[in-house]
Structure 1
Amino acid sequence: MESNESHRHDNSKVTAAGLLIALGIIYGDIGTSPLYVMKAVTGTTKPIEENEILGALSLVFWTLTLQTTFKYVILILRADNRGEGGIFALYALVRRHAKWITIPAMIGGAALLADGIITPPISVSSAIEGLKIIYPELQTIPIVIAILSALFLIQGFGTSVVGRAFGPIMLIWFLMLATLGFIHISDAPEVLQCFNPYYGYWLLFEYPEGFWLLGAVFLCTTGAEALYSDLGHCGRGNIRVSWVFVKVALFLNYLGQGAYLLSIKGQPLGTRNPFYDLMPDWFLLPGICIATMAAIIASQALITGSFTLVSEAIRLNFWPKVRLRYPSLQKGQLYVPSVNWLLWAGCVGVVLYFKESSRMEAAYGLAITLTMLMTTLLMSYYLYARRYNAWGIVLFFVLYLGIEGSFLVANLLKFTHGGWVSLIIGGAIVSLMVIWYNSFFIKQQLTEYVKLERFLESLKELSRDVSIPKYATHLVFMSSASRISEIESKVIYSIFQKRPKRADIYWFVHVDTTDDPYTMEYKVSIIEPDDVVKVNFYLGFRVEQRINLYLRKVIEEMVKNKEVDITSRYESLNKHNVVGDFRFVVLEKFLSYENELPLFERIIMQAYFFIKQFTPSEDKWFGLDASAVKIEKVPLVIQPVENVLLKRRYN
């Protein structure tokens, strides 16, 4: 296994290909923000004022500098989990130090998933609505839904081929942003005064209702979390170098839009979009096409990020074990069908409900503010756990609590105008995570384990008892017991009592999920030669569960080392060296009626088993061959009913 030092070295490496990949993967969200930020700041009915535009641009610049550059690009990218980033990767680094940090991790992850439902509609709608400049009567809603539907439809086929085109397209997009902005700065050169932080201060504290414009300003940095989430795909060095180019291109465009708005000050913006007003007439159609492609890339990045987030949540016991697919050989690429279609339904619902991108802005930003606040909490604790300078930690925490707290308060103004949509979505996701996380520990704490050595003689005798029909040559039980010396009592019950299961060799397989994302290790314990073997797998939280394949590799290694004989013990087959059959047994728990639980635990477990009936069975999660798997349902008696008032009759 590579050392942390080698990971850090690789993570800091900068290459031309890496820079192009970074442009294509992580800057879609933040890169399309010029489509709607200045439009949201200006509004449609109020006259444009010079100091308001300068103040808004000043806040955009300092937000991109303090929030995106300093917090994420310089500081938080340092907190990598063996090269991987994101709020759950950060949580995995510190979760062993304190239990309370589970709460901000859940809230942050849920808010990020909620953001994944709002971002594709607003990005694609903002781009497509540019067509109304050319075709005023055009109905954009069917076009937006068609583009989003096609995007979600192709996820199952893998996007590695399309992904290779993302980098060059985004390079063209950012060059277009920079060029259009730079050309229009001459419309009102006084726009360059916005670098003076005084104008931002004036807008916040002296302009009536200026503070509430922070909700619109915040839209310029909503994609900052993606810089950290996609750390594993691009590397710290590539992100830091490419961000210099991206930030320059973005702010040049904001300056161009600001200069254009200053050139028409005193007038209301109306239904126009200052982004498209920068384009000459002859370039409008190509510009809209490029903007649409950039919006699709932004949506793709959010969808892919949601799949990664859910896969990490599953490994951390925050999410049901839903089906995961790996449609291509590209590292880290996966497809989660259930999440894909839930996101599609959510995106279509947002488009149909809000209809226009200007109305979607009300729902956008509120959820991601919560994610950023939770990342600040986790990062502060990470710095504390790593014993960084105490005053530096306090400064970081207070500064960003103040900045993001202000953004949150300003965004709360959007609540009644559509912000409630993202909060309801986020709240539903948090509820699911709370149910799954608590049910995991309720089951874990009350699962009974027994010493395996107590049953070794009985297993050997059962294996040799010819009066019982042989169940399988090799019988493999999936076990939750991590200790080599232990096994669940339910497994013993299944072997000896439910139906005596005679086999030549009993295999007990346990899977441990590690905090390192790509760990692939195993440990074999031969408890009784040629009779009882225990295999513990240690798999990273981003490694696909393919136990059928992995166990086969382990057994091949053991046969090569002459540690086990897997030849069939049927006489007619043994003499021909035929390999014995393997059969898996997976115990699937259900809530027994013989339970008397406290109210909270009863609600949690009832909700858990209700949701579980809509999720795949354990054998599919472990990647087992369905033809060789036996699913056994066993009652989960968490707290048996006591004091049963039952009397015997004698007449």
Structure 2
Amino acid sequence: MEHKHKSKATAAGLLVAMGIIYGDIGTSPLYVMQSIIGDNPINSLTVLGGLSCIFWTLTLQTTLKYVILILRADNKGEGGIFALFALVRRHAKWLTLPAIIGGATLLADGIITPPISVSSAIEGLKMLHHKDGTPFVTDTVPIVIVILTVLFIFQIFGTKVVGKLFGPIMLLWFSMLGLTGLIWIGQDWSIFRALSPVYAWELLTTHQAGSAGFWTLGAVFLCTTGAEALYSDLGHCGKENIRVSWVFVKIALILQYFGQGAWLLAHEGALLGVRKPIFELLPREFLFTGIMIATAAAVIASQALISGSFTLISEAIRLNFWPRVRLVYPSDQKGQLYVPSINILLWMGCVGVVLWFKESANMEAAYGLAITMTMLMTTSLMAYYLHIKKVDMWWILLFLAVYVSLEGSFLVANLQKFWHGGYVSLFIAGVIILIMWVWFRATRIKKKLTEYEKLSDYIEPLKELSKDETIPKYATHLVFMSNAGRVTDIESKIIYSIFQRRPKRADIYWFVHVDTLDDPYAMEYKVTVIEPDDIIKVNFKLGFKVEQRINLYFRKVVEEMVSRGEVDITSRYKSLNEQNVIGDFRFVVLEKFLSFDNELPLLDRMVMKAYFFVKQFTHSEDKYFGLDSDAVKLEKVPMIIKPITKCNLKRIE
């Protein structure tokens, strides 16, 4: 699928882009300026310098790097760090490490985004007061937890219907941001002097603003945390829709930030306290409505992060970075995906973050540190992509120099947050990195040491077994899931299963192999009839975003082969054959377990033990492949990676 229908911007596409990809970056005005000011009195240096940093960050990081440059690296219309990795992984093995780190830190950051977005919006209720002066709401934690819980429960049903409302709501949100910002800018047009990078330089090189100076970059970075989503959602929206809609979104964001700056300068010397600049821009009679619109935008931002996490996990599974957990497709709409285990883990993580930090101001410390790692990893993968595209080396070095310096500065500034909450996101990212690395390394160990036989050596024995009526027939059609990519090969464990474990007589033996391709939506297959009406091998070539529904795909293959006269699937039992009854199909899936008879180096032994420990909590191979349980035989086979050679057992007479 080339996604040619998304090559041009359309009105509908622009609205979809508005609703899907700008939730995170679009809700940043809820907390960025508040984070920059912090607990210090408002002063013009921090306000003007902060605005200048925000403008140039959005320009250099979001617009230039992501919207203009990174969107060029599309994998058949798909984007995201794993799609980029799929484009370059054949050229260098070491690129696996930045891909794992980038994917893990992106997932970790997704646990912080929903709590901070929803909390920032709901905390606006603290600015509402009863007639007697008491706050309308004093504790927002229960409200935030309820909203997040409902949001995660809703994932079970898919987002097809509500998704149509996302675009209009976000259009209303950005319109509100731009309009309210412009109203306050009108009271102080001189705020636009902050467009000069001189103010950013002055702020970053001075310490007269208390805890400001260079470390302010940690707060400034929050304005661009959603930039990675622009690339990740490339497949949903198309690059032209993203680029065109970004013009409107960026203008609205800049107007809002500068409007907040105008309000802050009008209150120079004061402390913010519980007041949020974004809500101070609103007329009092519109405050509650504004808070509700902000909450809706925060929920949409959270939904985008959750959906993105599901997609990221599904890609990680195909690339052997994650255990084969259950994937559910709630509707036939493309991109609709639900991962129950991840949904539960994300909900637990989000609720834990809310209970631990309680307020959005505290969450800011944990936010941003992990995503800087994602952006640095994307930069390294993009540089290699430019290299294989034969871009001039000087341009590649310039790209690396600019963005490693910029993102490296953000990373160093964010490290100041480590003891204030940054350790939370890094701990989560570390756990995810460990799981991904263990799974990838264990998969490589398994593949490297899997023994294969020449299938040609077993053609005659299989034909003889098929004719041996002294052995009870196991099935008319016996289908084995095979890891052997070559048509000429077959695993020795399958041969052992057929001939020794329990002789499995069948009329036709099918060997099915699934290849995961770098092309995200490839759906192809190749049939090799090794022996007519006796031995057939089917190789599926599926993209890393294609759902594994082997039962359905195999049925399609058989139907096409029957229509071409390549195979006869009627039952071989005489009474059933005369009535043209279709023979039974039975799948056999071999599931490995680690044998005690292994002598492994310490690191490999720890990796394999961790791999099989995690594997016991995941779905079996047959469920991952989408096979009908009543037609599947799951066989446990011992996995001997390195046999024990020393055995001091002695015979006594």
TM-score by length of 2: 0.98
Deviation of the 1:333 alpha carbon: 1.4
How far apart in 2 are the matches of 1:139 and 1:60?
31
Aligned amino acid, residue 25 of structure 2: I
Q: Distance in 2 between the 1:339 and 1:577 partners?
A: 46
Letter in 2 for 1:300: Q
**Following superposition of structure 1 onto structure 2, how do residues 590-605 of structure 1 map, counting pairs within 5 Å?**
590-605=593-608
> In the TM superposition, what whole-angstrom CA distance separates every residue of 1:523-546 from its partner, at most 9, and x where no partner exists?
000000000000000000110000
Q: Distance in 1 between matches of 2:155 and 2:576?
A: 46
What residue ranges of structure 1 are gaps of 5+ in the alignment? none
CA distance in structure 2 between the aligned counterparts of 1:562 and 1:513, rounded to whole angstroms: 29
Deviation string 1:570-624 (CA, Å, 9 cap, x unpaired) is: 0010000000000000000000000000011000000000000000000000000
CA offsets per residue over residues 397-441 of structure 1, 9 Å max, x none? Answer: 010000000000000000000000000000000000000000001
TM-score for the superposition, normalised by structure 1: 0.98
Amino acid at match of 2:20: I
Alignment of 1:20-419 (within 5 A): 20-44=15-39, 46-135=40-129, 136=135, 137-208=137-208, 209-419=212-422
1:514 match? 517
* Residue identity matched to 1:75: L
Do 2:477 and 2:585's aligned partners in 1 also have CA atoms closer than 8 Å? Answer: yes
CA-CA distance at 1:52 after TM superposition: 1.6
* CA distance in 2: counterparts of 1:493 and 1:259, whole angstroms: 77
Matched residue SS, 1:510: strand
* Structure 1 range deviating more: 619-628 or 188-197: 188-197
Secondary structure at the counterpart of residue 187 of structure 1:
coil
Residues in 2 aligned to 1:260 and 1:80: alpha-carbon distance in whole angstroms: 41
Q: CA deviation at 1:385?
A: 1.2
- In the alignment, is the contact (CA less than 8 A) between 1:448 and 1:488 conserved in 2? yes
Q: Secondary structure at the match of 2:24?
A: helix
Q: Distance in 2 between matches of 1:231 and 1:24?
A: 13
Residue 635 (structure 1) aligns with? 638
Q: Which amino acid aligns with 1:194?
A: A
In the aligned structure 1, how far is the partner of 2:397 from the partner of 2:7?
A: 27
- RMSD of aligned residue pairs (Cα, Å): 0.8
Tell me how far apart the structure 2 counterparts of residues 29 and 643 of structure 1 sit (CA, whole Å). Answer: 59
Tell me if the contact between 1:481 and 1:510 (Cα under 8 Å) persists in the aligned partners. Answer: yes
Distance in 2 of aligned mates of 1:528 and 1:179: 73
Q: Is the contact between residue 332 and residue 542 of structure 1 (CA under 8 Å) also seen in structure 2?
A: no
Q: For the residues of structure 2 that align with 1:79 and 1:358, how far apart are their CA atoms?
A: 36
Alpha-carbon distance between aligned partners in 2 of 1:64 and 1:132, rounded to the nearest angstrom? 30
**Aligned-pair CA distance for 1:138:** 3.1
In 1, the alpha carbon distance for the partners of 2:5 and 2:586 equals 42
3-state SS of 1:346 partner? helix
Q: Does 1:589 align with 2:592?
A: yes
**Contact 1:54–1:199 under 8 Å retained in 2:** yes
Instruction: Output the CA distance in 2 between the equivalents of 1:260 and 1:484.
Output: 70
- C-alpha separation in 1, matches of 2:428 and 2:573: 58
The answer to whether the 8 Å contact 1:29/1:119 transfers is yes
Aligned residues: 644
State the 1:464 CA deviation.
Answer: 0.5
Residue 567 (structure 1) aligned with residue 570 (structure 2): yes
The one-letter code of the counterpart of 2:469 is V
Cα distance in 2 for partners of 1:23, 1:186 equals: 27
Equivalent residue of 1:14, what SS?
coil
Q: Which amino acid aligns with 2:69?
A: L
Question: How many Å separate the matches in 2 of 1:413 and 1:585?
Answer: 54
Cα distance in structure 2, aligned partners of 1:10 and 1:622? 30
**In 2, Cα distance between the equivalents of 1:330 and 1:165?**
16
Provide the C-alpha distance between the structure 2 equivalents of 1:272 and 1:640, rounded to a whole number of angstroms: 67
| CA distance in structure 2 between the partners assigned to 1:108 and 1:549 by the alignment | 34
C-alpha separation in 2, matches of 1:328 and 1:11: 21
Corresponding residue for 2:132?
none
Q: Structure 1: which amino acid aligns with 2:182?
A: F
Question: Is the Cα contact below 8 Å between 2:127 and 2:274 reproduced in 1?
Answer: no
- 5+ residue gaps, structure 2, are 130-134
Give the CA deviation at 1:202.
0.5
Partners of 2:186 and 2:97 lie apart in 1 by 50
2: distance between equivalents of 1:306 and 1:40? 26
Residue identity opposite 1:43 in structure 2: G
Q: Give 1:329 deviation, angstroms.
A: 1.3
Q: Secondary structure at the match of 1:633?
A: strand
**Structure 1 runs (4+) greater than 6 angstroms displaced:** none
Give CA-to-partner distance per residue, 1:346-389, whole Å, 9 cap, x none: 00000000000000000000011100000000000110111101
Q: Which among 422, 425, 428 is matched to residue 425 of structure 1?
A: 428
Does the alignment pair 1:606 with 2:604?
A: no
- Cα pair 1:173 1:291 within 8 Å, conserved: yes
SS of equivalent residue, structure 2 residue 539: strand
In structure 2, the partner of 1:502 is 505
- CA–CA separation in structure 1 for the residues paired with 2:314 and 2:229: 16
In the TM superposition, residue 118 of structure 1 has moved relative to its aligned partner by 0.1
Say if 1:474 and 1:580, in contact at 8 Å, map to a contact too: yes
Rounded Cα–Cα distance in structure 1 between residues aligned with 2:331 and 2:24 = 24
Q: Post-superposition shift, 1:270?
A: 1.8
Cα separation, 1, equivalents of 2:268 and 2:7: 46
**CA displacement 1:182-219 (0-9 Å, x = unmatched):** 00013332211101110001111134441000000000
